[in-house]
Structure 1
Amino acid sequence: MLKINNLYKHFGSLVAVNNLSMSVNKGETVVIMGPSGCGKSTAIRAINRLIEPDGGSIFLDGTDVTLLSEEELRGVRKRIGFVFQQFNLIGRLTAVENVMLGLVMDGLKREEAYEKSLAALQKVGLDQVVDHRPSQLSGGQQQRVGIARALAYEPDLMLWDEPTASLDPMLVREVLVVMEELARVRETTMLVVTHEIAFALHVADRIVLMDKGSIVESGAPHRVFVNPVSDVGRRYKELIEYQLNTSSRTLAGERIAS
């Protein structure tokens, strides 16, 4: 479905993405991970040309996105849902109005746009707050409105750029639950940039590890995190082991105290 060949992007003297090649199959959930500044977000934003690549090709169902005109690109972007770190909601609009705005601007009748938006909000568990404005919603709820806004287009491909990065840790789980359900039912192909290890272990069909603009390792979660071959993979393995050991010691202490 998605095939990236030799993607390259630089900002001045900084090479952000260095000849990256990868593919994502229809219905697959692929998670991109790596240290901050490794090029994850730049790579995913280049797919629908929110960032213009300096080299390489990006094929969506056989069409090279990098060669499209602005008008052609607008059509392709309707097939690609994008969930950002920031919520980017309009404060004066209700949740359902935020979701339906893009549909109406694209020419869909308001009645049909409203029905699609209600269905999308229901998918993310917000059917009880459709008339609430962003100021009346928690951060997690606002991000779920952003997810519904992307889902309303019924996209073939969903791109997620660290969707929990701006959330309080207490609110992260409600967004991850929505993402896990979408991955489970496989209604859309998903490419996710995240630091959430538990989510990646539980949901991803494949993990792609990046470092310094390049892919350094790729494979099933149980292989990448259990028998890593890259330095980044080994650091993730150590982090997982540390978290497990810390949890075990905490549980042991609680049993002794009780």
Structure 2
Amino acid sequence: MLSIRNLYKHFGNLIAVNNLSLTVDPGETVVIMGPSGCGKSTTIRTINRLIEPDSGSVIFDGVDITNLGEDELRSMRKRIGYVFQHFNLINRLSAVENIMLGLVMSGQSKEEAYDKAMAAMTKVGLEHLQDQKPGELSGGQQQRVGIARALAFEPELMLWDEPTASLDPMLVREVLVVMEELAKYRAATMVVVTHEIAFALHVADRIVLMEKGTIVESGIPNQVFVNPASHVGRQYKELIEYQLSTSARTLAGNRVA
């Protein structure tokens, strides 16, 4: 399905991605994690060339995306859904119109685009808010509209670039629930960049840990978080253990009180 080979990207003196290779199988949910600045967002953005790599290749369904011309790339992006950190919605348009826009611009009739947009809104549980404008929606609802916008193209591959990073902590859960449902029913192959450990434990088929632009560990969640082989993996394990112990102390204190 997806094969990234020897990917390299630098910004001035900073090497963001350093000779990275990764293969994702059809239907697989791969979660990329690591400390801020490790190159994970740069990596996912090079897949559909939101960022142009300096070298390497990105093979999707047998086609090297790095070699595509502008028209071919535009066509390929219809097969690859992308959910951004920020919502990037058009404020003057309603929720359903935001979802329809890309479909209509790609040549679909307004009727067909509306039907697909409403089907996508139903998948994220927002069909009752189709006429609301972004300013009338919560941050979590706006991000779910962004997810529906990507789903409306019925993509074969979904890319998620820290989709909860711009949300208030109270709103994170509603977006994660949608993502978990999509992963559960294998709606598409998924590559997710996130800091959400609980989400990764629940839905990832494979965790990929990055540090300084390279992959330092890859494996199933129980392997990576329970018996890590890398420094980054050990840091995540310590964080999970700390969170569990803090929760246990809080529960014990509540019982005493």
Q: Give the TM bin, normalised by the shorter chain.
A: over 0.9
* TM alignment of 1:59-70, pairs within 5 A: 59-70=59-70
- Give, in whole Å, the separation in 2 of the partners of 1:102 and 1:64: 24
Aligned to 1:48: 48
**Is 1:89 matched up with 2:58?**
no
Aligned to 2:189: 189
Which letter does structure 2 place at the counterpart of 1:113? A
RMSD of Structure 2 on Structure 1 (CA): 0.3
- Give, in whole Å, the separation in 2 of the partners of 1:187 and 1:169: 26
- Give, in whole Å, the separation in 2 of the partners of 1:49 and 1:96: 27
Deviation for aligned residue 1:87: 0.2
**Is 1:166 matched up with 2:166?**
yes
- Give, in whole Å, the separation in 1 of the partners of 2:47 and 2:73: 11
**TM-score, normalised by the number of residues in structure 2:** 1.00
- Give, in whole Å, the separation in 2 of the partners of 1:5 and 1:92: 41
Aligned to 2:18: 18
- Give, in whole Å, the separation in 1 of the partners of 2:127 and 2:108: 21
**Is 1:139 matched up with 2:127?**
no
- Give, in whole Å, the separation in 2 of the partners of 1:104 and 1:82: 18
Which letter does structure 1 place at the counterpart of 2:35? P
**TM-score, normalised by the number of residues in structure 1:** 0.99
Aligned to 1:105: 105
- Give, in whole Å, the separation in 2 of the partners of 1:87 and 1:69: 27
* TM alignment of 1:244-255, pairs within 5 A: 244-255=244-255
- Give, in whole Å, the separation in 2 of the partners of 1:81 and 1:104: 16
- Give, in whole Å, the separation in 2 of the partners of 1:229 and 1:200: 18
* TM alignment of 1:121-160, pairs within 5 A: 121-160=121-160
Which letter does structure 1 place at the counterpart of 2:118? L
Deviation per CA, 1:126-171, whole angstroms, max 9, x where unpaired? 0110000001100000000000000000000000000000000000
Aligned to 2:240: 240
Which letter does structure 2 place at the counterpart of 1:215? I
- Give, in whole Å, the separation in 2 of the partners of 1:248 and 1:129: 39
**Is 1:58 matched up with 2:58?**
yes
For structure 1, the 5+ residue unaligned runs are: none
- Percent identity of equivalent pairs: 76
For structure 2, the 5+ residue unaligned runs are: none
* SS, match of residue 127 in structure 2: coil
Which letter does structure 1 place at the counterpart of 2:187? E
* SS, match of residue 207 in structure 1: strand
Which letter does structure 2 place at the counterpart of 1:43? T
Which of structure 1's runs of 4+ aligned residues deviate more than 3 A?
Answer: none
Deviation for aligned residue 1:219: 0.2
Deviation for aligned residue 1:63: 0.4
Which letter does structure 1 place at the counterpart of 2:233? G
Which letter does structure 1 place at the counterpart of 2:225? F
- Give, in whole Å, the separation in 1 of the partners of 2:193 and 2:47: 13
Counting matched residue pairs gives 257
Deviation per CA, 1:76-135, whole angstroms, max 9, x where unpaired? 000000000000000000000000000001110000000000000000000110000001
Deviation for aligned residue 1:187: 1.4
